Amino acid sequence: MSFDWFRKTKKEAPQFWKDYLSGFQKQAGNPLSKRYVVFDCETTGLDPKKDVILSIGAIGIEGDAILVNDYFEVFLEQDVYRPETVPIHGILKTGKEEKLTEPEAVIRFLSYIKDATLVGHHTNFDVKMVNQALKRLDLGKLKNKKIDTNDLYQKHKGWQSDQYSGLDELCAVFKISKSDRHTASGDAFITALIFLKLKKKLRI
């Protein structure tokens, strides 16, 4: 029935999404949130249209400090599975990590990030991956401000902003140990350290 169809599309947004959005409205009167969330997604591949998120790791930064207890990590249950990328992220389809459904993971992620500025290395990709997951829930895109550590690095070097430097290269430049590389939380932590350094150098 057309009415049902109409109701389905116009149905009221779920509470978690409203809560998420209200975090930004509140900002109008209040000063900007000083919280940054550095996050990283491990995915089945590099195509936001076809690939899906396998895990999200994130860590909060306030001022000049990474807050270890402001931490987020989830593993997702997915039907899309690409054996060829397993060597990179090490997440098996039936791994021992406790896995959440994609909607559950997204809900927790939104309630975790709130209105923080999102930071990531090539963060556009990770944001796109999350946006695709949101789209599958019939919701809009992420509203958070974004900072890409790659852009910061190119700016710091005085290079063209379209240049590309990998996380491994930055680890070498900033003398950061690469343990836990290619786990979402490990990459998020590494990126957070890089961000702290660049933040100081660029006086952000």
Partner 1 sequence: MKNSIAERVADFLKNFPPFKSLPYPDLLDLSNQVQVVYLEKNAILFQVGDAAHQNFYVVKDGAIGLSVISNGEEILIDQCDEGDIIGLRPFFAKNQYAMAAKAQEESILYAIPIEIFKPFVMQNQEVLNFLLESFASNTRNPYDIDYKGKLISENSFIAKQDPEVPYFQPIVYSKKTITAQSTDLVEDIAKLMSSHKIGSVIIEENQLPVGIVTDKDLRFKIATGKFPIRVPVSQIMSAPVITISRDISIAEAQLLLLKHGIGHLCVTRDGTPGSKIIGILSEHDILVVQTNNPGVILKLVKRATKSKDLKAVREKLTALIKNSIESNIPIQHISNLAGEINLAITRRAIYLAIEKIGEQPPVQFAWMNVGSQGRREQLLLTDQDNAIVFEDVEEERYEKVKNYFIELAKKVNKTLNKVGYEYCPAEMMASNPLWCKSLSEWKQQFSTWIFKPGEKGIMMCTIFFDYDYVYGDERLTNAITEEIFKNIQNNQLFFAYLGTDALRNPPPIGFFRQFLVESDGEHKDTFDIKSRAMLPLIDAARLLILSNHFTGVNNTMERFKKLAELEPQNREFFEACAEAFANLMYFRTREGLSQDSGGRFLNLKELSKSDKVKLKNSFQPIHELHAILKQRFQLSYFT
Footprint of partner 1 (CB under 8 A)? 57, 59, 64-69, 71-73, 175, 179-180, 183, 185-186, 189, 192-193, 196-197, 200-201
Question: Minimum distance from CB of 182 to partner 1 (Å)?
Answer: 13
Measured distance CA(170)–CA(52) in Å, rounded: 26
Q: What is the smallest separation between the CB atom of 154 and partner 1, expressed in angstroms? A: 20
Cα distance between residue 74 and residue 177, in whole Å? 23
The least CB distance from residue 42 to partner 1, in Å, is 13
C-beta closer to partner 1: residue 46 or 65 = 65
CB atoms within 10 A of CB 97: 14
Question: Angle at CA 14, nearest 5°, toward 139 and 58?
Answer: 65
Q: How far apart are alpha carbons 108 and 99 in whole angstroms?
A: 13
Calpha distance 139→118 (Å, rounded): 19
Task: Give the residue with the Cβ less far from partner 1, 20 or 189.
Answer: 189
Secondary structure letter of residue 183 according to DSSP: S
The 3-state DSSP composition of the chain as helix, strand, coil percent (nearest 5) reads 45, 20, 35
Q: Residue 16 CB, nearest distance to partner 1 (Å)?
A: 18
The distance of closest approach from Cβ of residue 199 to partner 1 in the complex, given in angstroms and rounded to an integer, is 8
* Minimum distance of partner 1 from residue 131's CB (angstroms): 24
In the complex with partner 1, the residue whose CB is nearer, 139 or 188, is 188
Query: Which residue type, as a one-letter code, is found at position 167?
Result: L
The token pair at 42 is 């491990």
**C-alpha to C-alpha distance for 120 and 39, rounded to whole angstroms:** 6
> Would you say 9 or 69 has its CB closer to partner 1?
69
Judged by beta carbon, residue 77 or residue 180, the one nearer partner 1 is: 180
Q: Which is nearer to partner 1, 38 or 139 (CB)?
A: 38
